[in-house]
C-alpha cells in the first residue's frame, strides 16, 4: 500500500461540554479515514456547548491532543474543530452567477455562485461561520449536485448559511490559540455527526440526526442528500445528571455514576430487582432507592429533549415526510430505553448511529459518542483533498486575527 502523505493527515477536535476528543487520521482519495491517534479528556470550563473558562478548556483540549499525538507520533499544529451552542442558526439562501465559459462550468463558477449568497444581513454580534451547498440549477434545470463540467450560461445555487454569535466562536478559537493550534475550519456538530453516522440513502430520502451530548443536543434534517436545516437544543445529558442529583439528594458526580450504571429512560422497562446504591450529599452512609424511581427522574427530561426537537422539526417538515426516521448519536445515545422514548414521542423509526467507513484498531472511535469527532475529520477530508480551495469565510479572517493576538498574549502559556 502506498505511504500516506503528510498532505492527507487530518486533525479533528470535538470540544464538548463533557468530553474533549482529538482524532488524527489519514484520508485517502475516497475520503475513507485511517485513524492514527485518539485522545479523550474530561472537559472543564464549558457550559451548554460554550466556553466559560478559556484556561480550563485549553487544558482539557491539551490533554486530549497530547494523547492523540503520542499515539499517532504526529504533532498537531492545525485542526478542524466542532462547534455547537444555542447561538447557532441556519438560513436558506439563493445565489446566482453567469458562467464564464458556457461550454464548461468550472469550480470558479460554483465559488462565485456561493459567494453571491453572502448578502445576508446580520446583527453586529453575529457572523457567518460557513456556507454549505445544497443543490445547483443550470439554466433553470434543478436538482444538480455537481455542475462542474456541465454546459450552461446561468448557474443558481441553494445553500444553508450557518451563523453564530461572534463571542462564543472567538472564545473557542482562543482556547486553541493558547496551545498554538491554528483553526482551519469550524464544523457544526450535527453536520459532523451526520457525515459520520448516516448513509447516503438515508440522507437522500430524508432523515434526522440528533447528537445528544452533555450540554446540548444538535439536530440536523437531511433531504435530497444534503443538510436542509439544523438547530441546537440547549438540553443534554448534564441536565439528566442534575435532575438525578436534585431528586436523590446526591452530588453531580454520583448522579452521573448512577445514570451510567443503573439508568433507563423507558418507564415500561423491566427494572432489575437490584436497588440503586448511592451516597447522599454531606453524609457518610449510603442510601438505596428502586431503579424505577431513577427512571421516573430520567424519563421526563429525555422526553423533553425529543419533544423540543419534534416541535422545531415540524415547523420545517412533518415527520411523516422523513422516511428514514431519526438517528441518535452522542454519549447519551448509550442510555437504555432512550430509543424507545424517542420512538414514542417522534412516532418514527429510531436507530443508534456510530461512525462508518473508519479503519481503526481503537475502540475509542467506534461508539455513538465518537461520531462528531470522526465526522469533523471526514468533513475536513472532503475539503482537504478537494481540487479547489473553498473561499475564505468571515470567521476564518476573524479567527486569524484572534489567533495572532492570543499567541502574543499567551506565548509563555504552558498547560500543566
- The DSSP-derived string for 111-152 is HHHHHTTTT----TTEEEEEEEEEEEEETTEEEES--TT---
CATH at residue 119: 3.30.1490.110
Q: Does 415 map to a domain?
A: no
Same domain for 207 and 158? Answer: no
Same domain for 131 and 239? Answer: no
Predicted TM-score (pTM) of the model is 0.84
Q: Does 367 map to a domain?
A: no
Same domain for 206 and 348? Answer: yes
Same domain for 129 and 220? Answer: no
Q: What is the pLDDT of residues 14-62, one digit of tens each?
A: 999 999 999 999 988 777 889 999 999 999 999 888 899 999 999 999 9
Same domain for 142 and 208? Answer: no
Same domain for 146 and 215? Answer: no
Q: Does 204 map to a domain?
A: yes
Q: What is the pLDDT of residues 354-413, one digit of tens each?
A: 998 787 666 668 899 999 999 999 999 887 554 333 434 444 544 554 454 444 433 334
**What is the 8-class DSSP label of residue 323?**
T
Say yes or no to pLDDT of 156 above 60: yes
Distance from CA of residue 391 to its chain's centroid?
22
* Cβ partners under 8 Å of residue 73, min gap 6: 37
Distance from CA of residue 88 to its chain's centroid?
12
Residue reference for cell 448522579? 255
Give SS3 for 338.
helix
pLDDT at 375: 94
Q: Does 50 map to a domain?
A: no
Same domain for 344 and 217? Answer: yes
Average pLDDT over residues 92-104: 93
pLDDT at 239: 96
pLDDT at 60: 97
CA–CA gap between residue 167 and residue 51 (Å, rounded) = 10
Q: Does 407 map to a domain?
A: no
In percent, the amount of the chain with pLDDT more than 70 equals: 89
Say yes or no to pLDDT of 414 above 90: no
State the residue range of the domain holding 104: 89-164
Number of Cβ within 10 Å of residue 77's Cβ equals 10
Q: Does 62 map to a domain?
A: no
Closest CA to 238 of 49, 41, 13: 49
Same domain for 235 and 325? Answer: yes
Domain stop point among 301, 320, 354: 354
Q: What is the pLDDT of residues 265-298, one digit of tens each?
A: 999 888 777 888 888 887 777 888 999 999 999 9
Q: What is the pLDDT of residues 158-200, one digit of tens each?
A: 999 989 999 999 999 999 999 999 999 999 999 999 999 999 9
Same domain for 266 and 330? Answer: yes
Over the range 202-239, which residues count as b (16 or more CB within 10 Å of their CB) and which as e?
bbbebbbbbbbbbbbbbbbbbbebbbbbbbbbbbbbbb
Closest CA to 22 of 71, 77, 75, 61: 61
Domain stop point among 322, 354, 386: 354
Largest CA distance in the chain: 80
Q: Does 23 map to a domain?
A: no
Phi/psi-derived region of residue 328, left when phi > 0, alpha when psi is between -120 and 50, beta in every other case: beta
pLDDT at 387: 36
Q: Does 73 map to a domain?
A: no
Same domain for 328 and 209? Answer: yes
Q: Do the Cβ atoms of 356 and 6 come closer than 8 Å? A: no
Domain stop point among 164, 189, 212: 164
CATH at residue 280: 3.30.420.40
Residue reference for cell 478559556? 54
pLDDT at 86: 87
Give SS3 for 109.
helix
Ranges 19-33, 38-52, 66-80, 213-227: which has the least confidence: 19-33
Same domain for 101 and 238? Answer: no
Same domain for 304 and 348? Answer: yes
Q: Of all helices (H) and strands (E), which one includes residue 308? A: helix 291-313
Domain total for the chain? 2
Amino acid at each position: 500500500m502506498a505511504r500516506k502523505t503528510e498532505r492527507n493527515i487530518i486533525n479533528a477536535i470535538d470540544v464538548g461540554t463533557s468530553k474533549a476528543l482529538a482524532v488524527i487520521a489519514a484520508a485517502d482519495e475516497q475520503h475513507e479515514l485511517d485513524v492514527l491517534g485518539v485522545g479523550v479528556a474530561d472537559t472543564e470550563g464549558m457550559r451548554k456547548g460554550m466556553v466559560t473558562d478559556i484556561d480550563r478548556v485549553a487544558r482539557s483540549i491539551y490533554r486530549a491532543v497530547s494523547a492523540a499525538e503520542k499515539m499517532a507520533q504526529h504533532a498537531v499544529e492545525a485542526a478542524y474543530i466542532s462547534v455547537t451552542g444555542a447561538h447557532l442558526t441556519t438560513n436558506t439562501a439563493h445565489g446566482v452567477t453567469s458562467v464564464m465559459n458556457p461550454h464548461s462550468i468550472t469550480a470558479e463558477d460554483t465559488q462565485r455562485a456561493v459567494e453571491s449568497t453572502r448578502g445576508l444581513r446580520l446583527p453586529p454580534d453575529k457572523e457567518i461561520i460557513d456556507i454549505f451547498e445544497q443543490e445547483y440549477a443550470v439554466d433553470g434545470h434543478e436538482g444538480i449536485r455537481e455542475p462542474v463540467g456541465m454546459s450552461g450560461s446561468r448557474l443558481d445555487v441553494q445553500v444553508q448559511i450557518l451563523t453564530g454569535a461572534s463571542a462564543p466562536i472567538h472564545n473557542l478559537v482562543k482556547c486553541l490559540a493558547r496551545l498554538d493550534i491554528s483553526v482551519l475550519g469550524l464544523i457544526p456538530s450535527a453536520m459532523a455527526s451526520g457525515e459520520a453516522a448516516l448513509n447516503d440513502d438515508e440522507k437522500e430520502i430524508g432523515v434526522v440526526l440528533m447528537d445528544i451530548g452533555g450540554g446540548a443536543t444538535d439536530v440536523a434534517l437531511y433531504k435530497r442528500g444534503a443538510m436542509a436545516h439544523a438547530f441546537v437544543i440547549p438540553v443534554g445529558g448534564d441536565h439528566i445528571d442534575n435532575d438525578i442529583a436534585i431528586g436523590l439528594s446526591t452530588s453531580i458526580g454520583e448522579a452521573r455514576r448512577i445514570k451510567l450504571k443503573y439508568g433507563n429512560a423507558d418507564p415500561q422497562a423491566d427494572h432489575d430487582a437490584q436497588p440503586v446504591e448511592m451516597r447522599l450529599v454531606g453524609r457518610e452512609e449510603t442510601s438505596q432507592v428502586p431503579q424505577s424511581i431513577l427512571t421516573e427522574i430520567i424519563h421526563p427530561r429525555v422526553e423533553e429533549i425529543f419533544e423540543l426537537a419534534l416541535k422545531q422539526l415540524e415547523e420545517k417538515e412533518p415527520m411523516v415526510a422523513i422516511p428514514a426516521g431519526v438517528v441518535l448519536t452522542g454519549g447519551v445515545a448509550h442510555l437504555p430505553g432512550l430509543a424507545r422514548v424517542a420512538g414514542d414521542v417522534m412516532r418514527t423509526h429510531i436507530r443508534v448511529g456510530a461512525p462508518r467507513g473508519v479503519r481503526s484498531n481503537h475502540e475509542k472511535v467506534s461508539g455513538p459518542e465518537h461520531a462528531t469527532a470522526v465526522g469533523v475529520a471526514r468533513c475536513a477530508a472532503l475539503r482537504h483533498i478537494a481540487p479547489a480551495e473553498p473561499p475564505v469565510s468571515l470567521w476564518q479572517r476573524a479567527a486569524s486575527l484572534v489567533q495572532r493576538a492570543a499567541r502574543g498574549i499567551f506565548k509563555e502559556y504552558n498547560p500543566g
